[in-house]
Chain A
Amino acid sequence: MSRITVDGLTKRFGDTVALDDVSFEIPGDEFVVVLGISGSGKSTLLRCLNGLETPTAGTVRIDDAPVTGPRDDIAMIFQQHNIIGQMTAYSNALTGSLNRNSFVRSLFQLQDADDKLRALDALETVGLLAEAQQRARQMSGGQQQRVGIARALVQDPSVLLADEPVASLDPGSAQQVMGYLRTAARDRGLAAIISLHQVNLARKFGERFIGLRDGQKVFDGYRDAFDMDVIDEIYGDIDTDELFAPEGSSGDAGSAGGSAESGPTGDATEAAPDGGSRR
């Protein structure tokens, strides 16, 4: 289990501030959902976490080692899958083992039987063992995303990142993919950080929630504290009032419970039974 520490993370693109002094800490194997509207900084946060972007200020550390570039113990799942269409599901999954194999071995697919079995294991985890030899391009969007998850698992990471993994999928496939993601993370004891923009999926699968708005962290807490007020805070009042509070009662008094500013103050034990029971 790896402890992820984010400290004062700031990222500017020219004059645009994508992330503004974001700090949090994730101990080990939590399933964390990052929420926010488009442009709130979710993708930038994840890209900083795995070193695809270099922060303007602040640090990301896994255990005590700072993240300075892509590394093999952090696996990433992308919104657009980014799997290789010309190759089979199996070959795609096997690319997760590139960091453990030399160029020549990987080129001629001469990896150890260990790695090859691990690739098939991962495909089984995401329910694609029977389709292993199918070309990725001929698969559906949901299947392609599951191949992406399999590749990430073959990498044998300690941290699993997913940037809007279900944004381009239909609701059914989205639930399925999220289910596979959570099973994989739980079975292998991985810390998972998933960015989502669908509140219903977040509530269904999330264990801990981090809310971003205009690059700032506006919420960080567990299931019991994640209520209507928080959703308003993250998404602004306009849409969520209509969508989630049809009675028209004002959001102020509507729901009791934790405030938006409550941090992850050790409520994990209370949240776990609720979060862990669903699939």
Chain B
Amino acid sequence: MSHSDRVRDRYADIALARKVRAVVLAIGVVVTTAAFYYALTSVGFFAANIPRYLPNFLGALGDFFPFLTLSFPYVDPAGFLEYWTFVEERNLIWGGFGGDTPLLGEAGITLAMGFAGTVMGFPLALLFGVLGSGRVTPFPFNFLFRGIMSSIRAIPALVWALIFIPLGGIGPVTATLAIATDTIGNLGRLFTDELEEIEDGPIEAMETTGANKPQTITFGMLSQVTTPFIAWTLYIFEINVRIAVSLGIIGGGGLGQVLSVQQGLFAFTNMMATILVILVLIISVEVVSQRVRSTLRADEETQGLVSLLLGFPQRMAESLLK
């Protein structure tokens, strides 16, 4: 079978292109492998002697999971009791009425830090988020506000807590301030992004009614995004509860601090009990927040907060059965 010159030329072109691609790929693999090796050396991975410490870790695992046994049936219910004893003794989830600890115990402190931080950060997030939008503040000046929010985000919440220690001491107050600051950067950025996507129509419509600038922003712009703004705030609240746990580890109080203390005592069973409480707390916050957000998005405007809460068990059961 004979082929035209054009076909042969194109065949040669394709073959060459494939060879070039293979060489580039090979170089990429070599470079990445070298970088990976260098990174492991940099963190001292080969000096760490992991094999030697492996038995230690396996021993710790036994403490982490006291309900596991080596003989049949491999599960000892008494182990769960060890978790529960610690949860109860240290008021991890229940502080009782009128005591020194809040109603929901240490979990309540963590939750409170996340919640209070979100509420404290919200007004400034809204202000900076709106002022950071190019439609509200003319081009070069809106970057002033975006810049402030970027700077806040560039510093992790953990570092903000270190910065605020002279102000609030080592404790939940400082952690809450750090979370509030972090919220300004993150939530404000989400607000600004959301405002970039709104329609011009309602803004123009408000201008033609003779509305002033604040009225145009409120009715023409913000009224278009109330639902996404609420949804983003709930999302940041979820994240803030997680941050509250990690701030506890450096002394911010709540579950994180309990975890850090038990780690220091090498009380691995108590540590795991705390971790399980953290897991339940975070997942509960997420489930509630997700439910509220999906209700908002689903446009079920007529459903009030009361029916939302009352209907929660039923919806939960329904979605579990699906």
A residues contacting B by CB (< 8 A) are 50, 52, 70-76, 78, 80-87, 95-96, 98-99, 103, 106-107, 135, 137-138, 148, 151, 155
A87 to B224, CA, bound (A): 9
Mostly helix, strand, loop or mixed at chain B's interface? helix
Q: Is B41 an interface residue (CB 8 A)?
A: no
Q: Is B89 an interface residue (CB 8 A)?
A: no
Binding site for A on B (CB under 8 A): 199, 201-202, 204-212, 214-215, 218-220, 223-224, 226-227, 299, 301
Q: Give B8 Cβ to nearest chain A Cβ, in Å.
A: 49
Contact B207 A106, beta carbon cutoff 8 Å = no
Q: A78-B201, A135-B301 are in contact. Are A84 and B219 (CB under 8 A)?
A: yes
Q: Which residues of A contact B226 (CB under 8 A)?
A: 86
- Asked whether A84 lies within 8 Å of B223 as measured between CB atoms, the reply is yes
Given A86-B224, A103-B214, A98 and B208 contact (CB-CB distance below 8 Å): no
Decide: A87 and B208 in contact? CB cutoff 8 A: no
Complex: A96 Cα to B211 Cα, angstroms: 8
- Measured in the bound complex, the distance between the Cα atoms of B155 and A185 in whole Å is 59
- Chain B residues with Cβ below 8 Å from A84 are 202, 219-220, 223-224
Find chain B residues with CB under 8 A from A96 CB. 209
**Shortest distance from the beta carbon of A219 to any chain B beta carbon, whole Å:** 27
Of B206, B220, B299, most buried by chain A (CB within 10 Å of CB) is: B206
A-B contact pairs, 25 of them (CB 8 A): A50-B208, A52-B204, A52-B207, A73-B210, A74-B208, A76-B208, A78-B201, A80-B201, A81-B201, A82-B199, A83-B205, A84-B202, A84-B220, A84-B223, A86-B223, A86-B224, A95-B206, A95-B209, A95-B211, A95-B219, A96-B209, A99-B211, A103-B212, A138-B301, A155-B209
Q: Are B202 and A83 in contact (CB under 8 A)?
A: yes
A138: min CB distance to chain B, Å: 8
Known A-B contacts: A71-B210, A103-B214. Give 10 more (CB < 8 A): A70-B209, A76-B204, A76-B205, A82-B199, A82-B205, A83-B202, A84-B224, A106-B215, A138-B301, A155-B210
